[in-house]
Amino acid sequence: MTTTDLNTRDWNGVTIPSAGTYDLDQAHKRVGFVARHMMVSKVRGEFTEATATITVGEDPLQSAVTATLNAASITTAQADRDGHLKSGDFLDAEKFPTVEFRSTGVKSHSGTEFVLSGELTIKDVTRPVELEVEFEGVGRSPYGQDIFGFTATTEIDREDFGLTWNVALETGGVLVGKKIKIEIEGEAIRQA
């Protein structure tokens, strides 16, 4: 590993940020999801209020992430559906105001792609998850901030988290699919 300047370093042929603490840029983030609807289409949504802290380690494989989503900030651009998702049938946002993620380690890496192991807590249920993360690059914003970009995806079974509400369809199948794809895109800004 060699340092290219005070803010970046070369690691396994990739320019990465130097060690430090980075926060998710609120202006450049999307924490989205995709769910099957009526077995024939997809519904997309997102959590508009999310925070995350990424601690980049001296050893990049020892880096860590914590994230908090405001459950009541869920939106699918359809008010009735959003209200239902916030209700006790799904997130129960009044009783459980946050969705939490905490990394437990980097499972593997290849070039700019990583598998990040962690624990996801929805309502009062915590389950292990693995995020497929792609490091998108490092730079400096026009405002002098050191930043890096990333995308991450995973798929969960919502029923593993106690989100079991559904309706059987006359034609077979169910109204809401069990598998939920999570799609995250963002930039992180150096804090320290």
Residue 130: beta bridge partners? 117
State the alpha helices, DSSP H only, in the chain.
Answer: 79-86
* Mean pLDDT, range 137-144, rounded to an integer: 91
- Domains, the chain, ranges and CATH? 2-190 (2.40.128.110)
Nearest to 51 by CA among 20, 21, 24, 80: 24
Nearest to 180 by CA among 166, 169, 170, 168: 166
* Mean pLDDT, range 29-34, rounded to an integer: 96
Nearest to 134 by CA among 149, 113, 153: 113
* Mean pLDDT, range 81-105, rounded to an integer: 96
* Mean pLDDT, range 148-156, rounded to an integer: 97
pTM across the whole model = 0.90
pLDDT at 84 over 50: yes
